[in-house]
Chains A and B, each alone.
Chain A
Amino acid sequence: MSGFFTAIVEAVTAALGIVDPLCGPVGIFTLFAGDTLLACGDTGWGDEIALGFLVTGSLALATLPIGLLFGFFIALAKQSEERSLRLSANIYTTLFRGLPELLTLFIVYYGLQILVQNAATAIGYQGSVEINAFFAGMIALGVVFSAYCSEVLLSAFKAIPRGQYEAGDALGLHRGRTMQRIILPQLIRIALPGLGNLWMALLKDTALVSVIGLPDILRQTGVAARVTKQAFEFYAIACLLFLILAFLSSLIFSSIETWAKRSEAAR
């Protein structure tokens, strides 16, 4: 069984290696930076930076669904008729929109470490526990993202007229069905620009996770900068890679927006 999984992992790695935009056979570094400091392999920093690119992208992509899901439920809680539910959701957003992202990251990283350590000691485990930086970053960024996301979704919910819910009731649909078939499609359309901004912010916030040791773009270029003493070039490459990510995201988001608006009449 484990051999099967290893085969899958190897196949995925090989597939990623081929389409790797930086160090693959048709990657930018392979084509244009063959014998410079950016070469892939042992002679240059290309493959390390490519790994950082992958880590940054996957961290942001892994955080997105968590943040969206939590944000959706928090937005629902905020417009609930139940006072305690509204209050607790508001406490959540006030807290995590007010704290600096870096502080949230430290609180989650060290706090989780202490919690897990205490729990492990309580059940009799003696060694020291280390929290995975990727996991801690995912939680911290997800929490911040969900707090902002709930605000965006809440204002989108408010933009949908009551009549839409009533129409769902009149058709005899369940509340869940009404949400899924009537409200959500409109919600996505209204919230997309706001969510696009949040995604950009998330992408930029991933740079903070380099501080707790995750090998993302900034950390990898930082290591390269320290070793080669060419700080400006490597940090400029980091900026460029983030710009590329931002540019790609804006392309993807504009195509999603066109897709979401496909049913609207042309104006």
Chain B
Amino acid sequence: MSRVSTSLIPPQAPPPAPPRPFTAGRFFGNVFMGVWLALTIGIFLMMVEGWDPEKFTRYGPNYLSGLGVTLTLVGLSIVLGAVLSLPLAFARMSKNPVFSWFSYGYVYFFRGTPLLTQLFLIYYGLGSFSTELKAWGLWWFFRDAWNCALLTFTLNTAAYQAEILRGAIESVPRGQHEGAAALGLPKKIAFFKVILPQALIVALRPYGNEIILMIKGSAIVAIITVFDLMGETRRAFSRTFDYQAYLWAALLYLLIVELLRNVWAWLEARLTRHLKR
């Protein structure tokens, strides 16, 4: 008379998840997201409302050429600065106090003063020596704001890059030097084949930051009448008094910086894949 149940209990749904508590964090998160959303929609509506195809065809190409000027200026100054930073970094690490102090002073000056002040010092400051510069045959160079901007940026980024390079080279452990010496490698080969590759991996991220800082910093050349992206923006704003001019520039700058940041993150992941565990 045993009664064995032949049917199983049908599978039951899990108990419902407890409701997420409405915390202060959630409240503020929603509020801030709402603010961002409202801002985005507001700016979008403003752009749609103030949309003027005539302005766009008139100033659009200017923006692109301004972007070209910005990128050329930054690209050139980064490359020239890298060349100049090599001797600076070595002078800084040298045992000769004259070299080391000169390099220290150079780096301190260019890192301790605003880029804008350096730019004025070179463009307006050296411009006041026009008779001497004409006598030396250098006036054609310093007469042009673009050249002065390039010179200032090169000198400035050389100081920053020298510090990056020095930090990276000094971060390579002593054992690497000793290992190379134990293998009987000449100093030069040891440096280029053992030390520098490891140092450059350390330096990769600061180099990326430096390029981004230069792109952002280059906006100030607009003040000394170079028509880069910022300069074209100011020109468009002063002619139309349309606030959109700045928003377009902001969009373009954000685009470049984000693009560069992502490319750099990819590059870093790719170059350090042998260090992943």
Q: List residues of A whose CB falls within 8 A of some B CB.
A: 77, 80-89, 91, 94-95, 97-103, 106-107, 110-111, 114, 200, 204-208, 210-211, 218, 222, 225, 229-232, 235-236, 238-239, 242-243, 246-247
Q: Is the CB of B109 within 8 A of A88?
A: no
Q: Is the CB of A218 within 8 A of B116?
A: yes
Q: Which residues of A contact B118 (CB under 8 A)?
A: 239
Asked if B32 is at the interface (CB within 8 A of a chain A CB), the reply is: yes
- How far is it, in angstroms, between the C-alpha of A247 and the C-alpha of B108 when the chains are bound? 10
Asked if B16 is at the interface (CB within 8 A of a chain A CB), the reply is: no
- How far is it, in angstroms, between the C-alpha of A123 and the C-alpha of B237 when the chains are bound? 27
- How far is it, in angstroms, between the C-alpha of A262 and the C-alpha of B185 when the chains are bound? 46
Q: Is the CB of A84 within 8 A of B33?
A: yes
Q: Is the CB of B115 within 8 A of A91?
A: no
1/0 contact string of B224-253 vs chain A (CB within 8 Å)? 000000100110010000010011011001
- How far is it, in angstroms, between the C-alpha of A33 and the C-alpha of B220 when the chains are bound? 32
* Nearest CB on B from A98, distance (A): 4
Q: Is the CB of B28 within 8 A of A218?
A: no
Q: Is the CB of A99 within 8 A of B254?
A: yes
Q: Is the CB of B121 within 8 A of A81?
A: no
Select from chain B the residue with minimum beta-carbon distance to A73: B28
Q: Which residues of A contact B127 (CB under 8 A)?
A: 231
* Nearest CB on B from A246, distance (A): 4
- How far is it, in angstroms, between the C-alpha of A205 and the C-alpha of B115 when the chains are bound? 9
Asked if B222 is at the interface (CB within 8 A of a chain A CB), the reply is: yes
* Nearest CB on B from A262, distance (A): 28
Q: Is the CB of B113 within 8 A of A204?
A: yes
Q: Can you list 25 pairs linking A and B with CB atoms under 8 Å apart?
A: A87-B29, A88-B36, A89-B32, A91-B36, A94-B254, A98-B216, A99-B253, A100-B215, A101-B219, A103-B249, A107-B247, A110-B246, A200-B111, A204-B115, A208-B116, A208-B220, A218-B116, A222-B124, A225-B124, A229-B128, A230-B128, A231-B128, A232-B125, A232-B126, A238-B113
Q: Is the CB of A85 within 8 A of B246?
A: no
Q: How many residues of B contact A (CB 8 A)?
A: 49
Q: List residues of B whose CB falls within 8 A of some A CB.
A: 23, 25-26, 28-30, 32-33, 35-36, 108-109, 111-118, 120-121, 124-129, 215-220, 222-223, 230, 233-234, 237, 243, 246-247, 249-250, 253-254, 257-258
Q: Is the CB of A80 within 8 A of B25?
A: yes
* Nearest CB on B from A114, distance (A): 6
Q: Is the CB of B219 within 8 A of A239?
A: no
* Other-chain residue from B32, B112, B128, B216 in contact with A101 (beta carbon distance below 8 A): B216
Closest 5 CB pairs between A and B? A85-B29, A84-B29, A232-B125, A207-B114, A88-B32
Residue among B116, B220, B223 with the highest chain A CB neighbour number at 10 A:
B116
Q: Which residues of B contact A200 (CB under 8 A)?
A: 111-112
Q: Is the CB of B121 within 8 A of A232?
A: yes
Q: Which residues of A contact B220 (CB under 8 A)?
A: 102, 208
* Other-chain residue from B36, B219, B223, B243 in contact with A103 (beta carbon distance below 8 A): B219
Q: Which residues of A contact B217 (CB under 8 A)?
A: 100
- How far is it, in angstroms, between the C-alpha of A100 and the C-alpha of B109 when the chains are bound? 22
Q: Which residues of A contact B128 (CB under 8 A)?
A: 225, 229-232
Contacts known (A85-B32, A211-B223); A103 close to B230, Cβ less than 8 A: yes
Select from chain A the residue with minimum beta-carbon distance to B120: A235
Q: Is the CB of A84 within 8 A of B26?
A: yes
Contacts known (A91-B36, A204-B113, A235-B124); A82 close to B254, Cβ less than 8 A: no
Q: Is the CB of A80 within 8 A of B253?
A: no
- How far is it, in angstroms, between the C-alpha of A84 and the C-alpha of B26 when the chains are bound? 7
Contacts known (A84-B33, A99-B253, A225-B124); A242 close to B113, Cβ less than 8 A: yes
* Nearest CB on A from B118, distance (A): 7
* Nearest CB on B from A107, distance (A): 5
- How far is it, in angstroms, between the C-alpha of A206 and the C-alpha of B25 when the chains are bound? 34
- How far is it, in angstroms, between the C-alpha of A109 and the C-alpha of B243 when the chains are bound? 11
* Nearest CB on B from A119, distance (A): 14
Q: Is the CB of B219 within 8 A of A238?
A: no
Q: Is the CB of B258 within 8 A of A243?
A: no
Q: Is the CB of A82 within 8 A of B23?
A: yes
- How far is it, in angstroms, between the C-alpha of A80 and the C-alpha of B33 when the chains are bound? 14
- How far is it, in angstroms, between the C-alpha of A243 and the C-alpha of B250 when the chains are bound? 31
Q: Which residues of B contact A246 (CB under 8 A)?
A: 112-113
Q: Is the CB of A94 within 8 A of B258?
A: yes
Contacts known (A103-B219, A106-B246, A235-B125); A80 close to B109, Cβ less than 8 A: no
Q: Is the CB of B25 within 8 A of A85?
A: yes
- How far is it, in angstroms, between the C-alpha of A200 and the C-alpha of B247 when the chains are bound? 28
Q: Which residues of A contact B109 (CB under 8 A)?
A: 239, 243
